[in-house]
Amino acid sequence: MKLLCAGNTLGEGQSRSFSLEGRKLLAVRRNNRALVYLNSCPHLGIPLEWQPERFLDASGSLIQCATHGALFLIDSGECVSGPCAGKRLPRIDCREDGTGIWVRL
């Protein structure tokens, strides 16, 4: 596994972008749990953020694609609204310990 970041880098309810081994990643912390996805919309294959480090909708409860407004569940990456409804963001296996958030690419 590869170290993505220190755990305190990703606060509760926050989202961040990372680049690791040439891959663009999106990390979100929800209910004190880190979740990591490829930062790539399943519809167009483009990055999701609408501003740097901004992946969540106005309510902070869904991941939103800046290009066409598709909405994804944070816990599963499933698209629940938009042109890629029913598809999922590719999830990256991760774990967290006292050192930080680790991912398996």
Which token pair is 85?
């409804």
For range 77-101, the mean pLDDT: 96
Is the model's pLDDT at 50 over the cut of 80? no
Sequence-distant (6+) residues with CB within 8 A of 84 are 41, 42, 43, 70
0.85 exceeded by the pTM? yes
Which token pair is 96?
């967290």
Which token pair is 48?
């999701």
- Calpha distance 74→60 (Å, rounded): 10
CB 75 within 8 A of CB 89: no
CB 4 within 8 A of CB 94: yes
Is the model's pLDDT at 92 over the cut of 80? yes
42-46, 56-60, 87-91: segment of lowest average pLDDT: 42-46
pLDDT mean across residues, the chain: 95
- Report the candidate in 80, 59, 62, 68 with the shortest Cα–Cα distance to residue 26: 62
pLDDT of residue 44: 86
Q: What is the pLDDT of residues 12-44, one digit of tens each?
A: 999 999 999 999 999 999 999 999 999 999 988
pLDDT of residue 16: 96
pLDDT of residue 53: 84
